[in-house]
Amino acid sequence: MKLLLVEDEPALLASVVSYLQAQHYICEVATTYAQAQEKMLLHDYECIVLDLTLPGGDGLDLLRELQKHQKAAGVIITSARAAVDDRITGLELGADDYLPKPFYLPELSARIAALVRRRHYQGTNLLQAGELSVDVPARRAAVAGKPLTLTRTEFDLLLLLLANQGRVITKGAIAEHLSGDAAEQFDTFENVYAHVKNLKRKLTEAGAPNYIRMVYGLGYRFDVNG
Amino acid sequence: MTRRLNSPILPHQSMKLLARTTVIFLIYASVVAAAGTFVYYNFIRKIYYQYVDRTLSRRKLRVDNDLRLYLHSPADLAFWHRLDHNVEFVPLAAPGPPAAFSVRMMYNKLVNKTVPYRQLAAPVVFQGRPYRLELRTTMLDSQELLARIGQAGALLFGALLVGLLVLQHLLARRLWAPFYKTLGALQRYKLDQPEPVHLAPTRIPEFKELNAALNRLLNRNQRIYRRQREFTENAAHELQTPLAILRTKLDMLVQAPGLTEEQASHIEPLLDVTQRLTHLSRSLLLLAHLDQQLFFPTETVDLAAVIRTQLGQLREQLAGGSLTLATDLVDSLPVAANRSLLDILISNLLSNAIRHNVPGGTVRVTLTPQLLIVENTGRPRALPADQLFVRFRPGPERPPGSVGLGLAIARQICETSGFLLSYHYEEPGRHQMRVRM
């Protein structure tokens, strides 16, 4: 699964590459407009993570270029420019998703996973993790064939966890994933605790092993290997 | 207008400039009219007396002549008086005082009443004996004279008054028109309006200077305001990338194998602070965008559904404070608004009602087609309404972790969306945020 990461900030790029590589993605990087332009026209990528403010040009122009050359890559815009019209223009120009900076790495990973799923598996899309199987388009989950009754939030939480298996997802990342970036954040994480607790209970009641573990109060990790 | 209502005892305090000028003119005119009438009256009187006295003096010369040539006995003197009541001879024992004019009241048979007479009393000698000669003439009634002159003065004053009022009206219409136009433009002026103020051109130098000075001032203010707004936006914007680095590095740090509990305890506050900084910079950016009146696309959003969804998401927070939730919502209420902004507005109001509640208190949400009320239990005293919506509001009411922008954002969103947000206090201890649609 090959990704192109377009980002001019080296420190940020390093974290993103490092996180996504551990998720078994093949990451190529571009730090300038020209580099990005060259790479995305020469190669085919599963997904392009695109920063809008680049040395040498505007990321939105890269989108136009992609459209012109009918490149079939999925695009996630990551931008510090949170202006509403940027978001709209970006999506109009064929971007699939818009993730404002600063973002959480597990969130980016989940968005990439969702994008890849949408592009590859129309209709049938079964995620398998240990005894857990999740039908994403139908929004159904089951443990060893036994269906789970999950709320919308719990299902979203499960998707985030599955997209970041074996990684620690901080409470803040979960909170933002569940409430969206628009909602005012509480400094407490009561919502996160409650939803994780409910999900864990439902999983164990359905007979699944304890997949979700808390990591020192920082966050949670989903791991089928315990 | 309101000031006039507030101080009925001192109406001149809120009197218009022109009205004030008129009042001063009127006072001046009445003083001049009163003094003028008085002086005029005395002047006329003096002239009149001089005329009468001169006539009497001439008659006295004639009487002197008659005494010498035609009269022969005291009986002639009495006969003369009978013929003309205005000529009288009073015999004296000794020679009388010198000639003097006086006014005396006497009965007049012709008009059948007592009227004033001007009299010249002069000593005369007839056949070697002293007499006092009294020559009289009726005078116009001085009261009537005064009345006539007063009438003339009043007429003059009236003409002056009418003229002044007409003049003032014309002045207000013509001369002061540029001033009132400028005033109107300033009253409509808002610092954050996108278009510059247009002050109507005028030929009057004073108003020209006033407009020029105002234009300089307004442009300068607008420039400063715009620069500050841009500064806020740029500052918030420039924060995003460092925050992104901070966040992702922390995300990497928590993945480190063999992370100890002690290390985790150092990382946790960093996560919280980063979270808070992110929220702060996003809030600032949102406010900057709202201030700039950037275009926020509107769609039809069901406000009732938004509230229900958000209340569902806040269940844990409500439970955490042992709060009771009471709702009275219409089934559905479509409003034309930007969905994200509406989400933020409702979220901020609900979070506010939860944050500032008391343990065991109530959050009451009422939605009618015109009005949304979010109410929370709190301290039994009204909050200062004007300070509630201030950005970075300090004060003891602010709970830790809050950046103090929630209500400022809510108000700005309401303004952008054409809603009206206000605070109301109801006894006992019920604090309400009302959004009027």
Residue of A88, A101, A218 with shortest CB distance to B267:
A218
Q: For the segment B83-116, what is each residue's pLDDT rounded down to a tens digit?
A: 888 888 888 888 878 889 998 888 887 778 888 8
Residues in chain B closer than 8 A to A220 (CB atoms)? none
Q: How far apart are CA B188 and CA B167, in angstroms?
A: 29
Burial class (CB in 10 A: 0-12, 13-18, 19+), B49: middle
Say whether A15 and B294 touch across the interface (CB within 8 A).
Answer: no
Mean pLDDT of A152-156: 89
| Lookup: tokens for B412 | 């700005």
**Which range is least confidently modeled, A66-70, B154-158, B266-270?**
B154-158
Q: In this structure, what are the phi and psi dihedrals at residue B196, rounded to the nearest 5 degrees?
A: -70, 160
pTM here is 0.66
Of B64, B56, B37, which is closest to residue B124 (Cα–Cα)? B64
Looking at this predicted complex, what is its ipTM? Answer: 0.89
Q: How far apart are CA B308 and CA B225, in angstroms?
A: 39
Residues in chain A closer than 8 A to B288 (CB atoms)? none
Q: Chain A residue closest to B399 (CA)?
A: A187
From residue B313, give the alpha-carbon distance in Å to each of A70, B179, B310, B329. Answer: 41, 56, 5, 17
Q: Which of B230, B245, B251 to mutate to test the interface with A (most CBs of A within 10 A)?
A: B251
| Residue B157 pLDDT > 70 | yes
List, as ranges, residues 152-181 from A with C-beta within 8 Å of B. 153, 167-168, 170-173, 178-181
Q: For the segment A13-52, what is each residue's pLDDT rounded down to a tens digit?
A: 999 999 999 988 999 999 999 999 999 888 889 899 999 8
| Lookup: tokens for B270 | 């960093």
| Lookup: tokens for B417 | 């969306």
> What is the structure's pLDDT at A180?
64
The conformation of residue B73, written as its DSSP 8-state character, comes to S
Cβ A86 vs Cβ B289: under 8 Å: no
Longest dimension (CA), chain B: 161
**Which range is least confidently modeled, A57-71, A90-104, B277-291?**
B277-291
From residue A42, give the alpha-carbon distance in Å to each of A35, A37, A57, A70, A210. Answer: 11, 9, 19, 12, 45
Residues in chain B closer than 8 A to A180 (CB atoms)? 343
The conformation of residue B341, written as its DSSP 8-state character, comes to H
Strand order in the sheet with B113-126: B87-91, B129-138, B113-126, B100-108
Strand order in the sheet with A132-135: A126-129, A132-135, A140-143, A146-148
CB-based contact, A59 to chain B, within 8 Å: no
CB-based contact, A182 to chain B, within 8 Å: yes
| Lookup: tokens for A83 | 């202006």
CB-based contact, A104 to chain B, within 8 Å: yes
